A and B are shown apart, each in its own frame.
Chain A
Amino acid sequence: MPLDPSLFAALAGLGVAPPAEAEDPEEQRKRAYDYECAVYPRLGPPGPELPVREHVVPVEGYPDAPVRLYYPDEPGAGTGLPVCLFFFGGAWRQGGVHHPGVAAQCALRAARAGVVVAAVSYALAPEHPFPAAVEQAYAVLGWLVREAGRLGVDRTRIAVAGQSSGGNIAAALTLVNRDRAGYPLASQILEVPALDLTSGHLDLDAVELTDEQRAGLARVVAQYVPREQDRRDPRASPLLAERFDGLPPAYVFTAEIDPLRGDGEAYAAALAGAGVPVAALRLVGQTHESGVYERVSATARVAQAAIADALRALHS
């Protein structure tokens, strides 16, 4: 189906065009932030005011990772709530918990599911290329497990989640964890994830890409993983892992009008083939970004309800 008509109308009425790409990384981040500030309040719901706690996790060999924990209620001693480790999207080079959409979604999910959402401010490319973000993610997971008691979270009820590039990091984290510490992970929630940085699984039937868009995708990947041979590393391209057994049950969301639907759906198939429980949903009529635009899209509301439900399942 073509673009969701209510979404189309809302986007057409914004009167703000997505910014042009900037050469300078800081300028690029500023443009992305300004754009989200301009459009998110009109497309997505605000998040509730929740108690938050800021932490900084030391990471060996890479920058320390700031983590913001959103609590559904004021944390008390011995609460032991389930926790969702969350990685925001932004092409590995922009985004963060200061973005209104990211902050709102973290708070919404914490409140809707009664879980703690731990949002990781991983280091961005090009200043901090692969595998900095994945190693930070792994260090934060270890920290979350080790400090669980003090953080008021339950070390046996941990989900990992991420959007787009954040979905890439979340999936890579489950692989690294399986092969190293082996902490029990209850589930993984991947929203429009990028899972093959060699472009081998892009679904070009999803949308007509212009040459400029293709070049843009290639630049994003080259900034995050400059060395071409590294793009075959499963920490960069989880779809190229040798094995998929022993990974946590997965919820994979793809958008119909997004070439990355090929990545997400191939990953769902690979996990299922290895015996991992998988729920895979393609959001028809939606784009790469629109899965969180609950104010203007019924499909987005259904998708976010499904994610909240997946997080609530951590309680059982």
Chain B
Amino acid sequence: MPDYVALARAAGCEAAVLEWLAANEEIAAGLPDLRAADWPRRRRAARELADVLATRFTLPGPAGCVVTEHRVPVRSGEVTVLRYHPPGDDRPRPAHLSVHGGGFIGGDVHEVINDRLLRRRAVDSGFDIFDIDYRLAPEHPFPAGLEDCVDVLGWLAASAAELGIDAGRLGVGGASAGGNLAALAAVHLRDAGGPPLDHQVLEVPAASLYLDRDGSFREHGVLADFGDFAEIRAAYLGADPAPGPAAPAEVRDLAGLPPALVLTAECDPLRDCGEAYAARLAAAGVPVETWRAPRQVHGSAGITATSPIAREWQDRVSGFLRARRTAATVH
């Protein structure tokens, strides 16, 4: 096994990132189920690892945010959505659908890190944030998770009055695999011809499923904790891939997509595909803000307890959302 910490140090990563990577390795060593063939077992182990890390490395969210759990009808049945409702009486609230990461095969809304980051984000931005527990591969390959995201966005728009949210100020965002799904959900809503989304926030997005030619992949491929990218791609697409773009990089026409914030990490194999997507959005006339976080790796934006750069990352997302509250809605 490569010595990740030494590699990250050589790449110039922040000390807080090195400490987090070392803890990750140490805890993972005690969780043999991380490599179990059985997916539920593997996910339970991954959740335990993530929760222990988040408890140590992610600042607790602020008090006063009310969290409720909703069962939302989608075309395949029902998915769970957690709502983070920050204090205040203003209605209707701007709303944001958050799509967690986890390589399309893992992650869930009940992880400690989601609670901590989304509470902070909801309170700092004044948005009602909805976190979706979409279906995962390989049990549910592409486009199952994407359909869930599209359906929940439809539910949010249709239930806006009941939920006390502003259907005209509804956006989407996600990290890693969640960034992929968020970007594609925005494309689907544009193509459906309904009211456009207000914004998209793409954090270390898996904007492409084919990274081999990317400089960031060749340089930092070993530094991501998401394992073998080809294996993830195979699990996500399944034996008989469904038609349609499974990654934002495969979408040809980007005109008319909602204003975007695209955040990438310097030492992340996904950096180049995220930045390439941001550049294509801008070339298609979409307002785009980007930031490449220095000395960070994939996933380190969550270590707000120890990293000032991670805190800046979170502040940038909240600041972008805050600015959307008063931005012109026509784009």
Contact = CB atoms under 8 A, between A and B. Distances in A.
Interface of A: 58-61, 138-139, 142-143, 145-146, 149-150, 180-184
Contacts of B47: 182
Residue among B44, B48, B68 with max Cβ neighbours from chain A (10 Å):
B68
A73 B110 CA distance: 30
A61 B78 CA distance: 15
B66 interface: yes
A4 B308 CA distance: 67
Given A138-B69, A139-B68, A150-B63, 18 more contacts: A58-B66, A59-B68, A60-B69, A60-B70, A60-B71, A60-B83, A61-B70, A61-B71, A139-B69, A142-B69, A142-B110, A143-B67, A149-B60, A180-B80, A181-B108, A181-B110, A182-B44, A183-B110
B115 interface: yes
B72 to A, nearest CB: 10
A142 B67 contact: yes
Contacts of A181: 108, 110
Contacts, number: 31
Nearest to B109: A181
A134 B47 CA distance: 25
A276 to B, nearest CB: 16
Which 7 residue pairs across A and B have the least CB separation, nearest first? A181-B110, A60-B68, A60-B70, A58-B68, A146-B115, A149-B60, A58-B66
A138 B69 CA distance: 9
A237 B70 CA distance: 23
Contacts of A146: 67, 115
Interface in B289-319: none
Nearest to A180: B80
A238 to B, nearest CB: 20
24 contacts: A58-B66, A58-B68, A59-B68, A60-B68, A60-B69, A60-B71, A61-B71, A138-B69, A139-B68, A139-B69, A142-B110, A143-B67, A145-B110, A146-B67, A146-B115, A149-B60, A150-B63, A180-B80, A181-B110, A182-B44, A182-B108, A182-B110, A183-B110, A184-B48
Contacts of A59: 68
A315 B66 CA distance: 29
Residue among B69, B70, B110 with max Cβ neighbours from chain A (10 Å):
B69
A200 B11 CA distance: 65
Contacts of A184: 48
Interface in B68-82: 68-71, 80
Contacts of B44: 182
Contacts of A58: 66, 68
A183 B47 CA distance: 10
A316 B58 CA distance: 26
A149 B60 CA distance: 8
Contacts of A180: 80
Contacts of A142: 67, 69, 110
Contacts of B83: 60
Nearest to A143: B67
A231 B83 CA distance: 30
Contacts of B60: 149
B271 to A, nearest CB: 32
Contacts of B48: 184
A7 to B, nearest CB: 43
A182 B80 CA distance: 13
A149 B62 CA distance: 11
Nearest to B115: A146
Contacts of A145: 110
A59 B66 CA distance: 10
Interface in B180-212: none
A259 B80 CA distance: 38
Contacts of B69: 60, 138-139, 142
Interface in B4-45: 44
A146 B111 CA distance: 10
Nearest to B43: A182
A60 B130 CA distance: 13
A134 B330 CA distance: 45
Contacts of A60: 68-71, 83
Interface string B107-129: 01010000100000000000000
B65 to A, nearest CB: 9
B195 to A, nearest CB: 25
Nearest to A145: B110
A196 to B, nearest CB: 25
Contacts of A143: 67
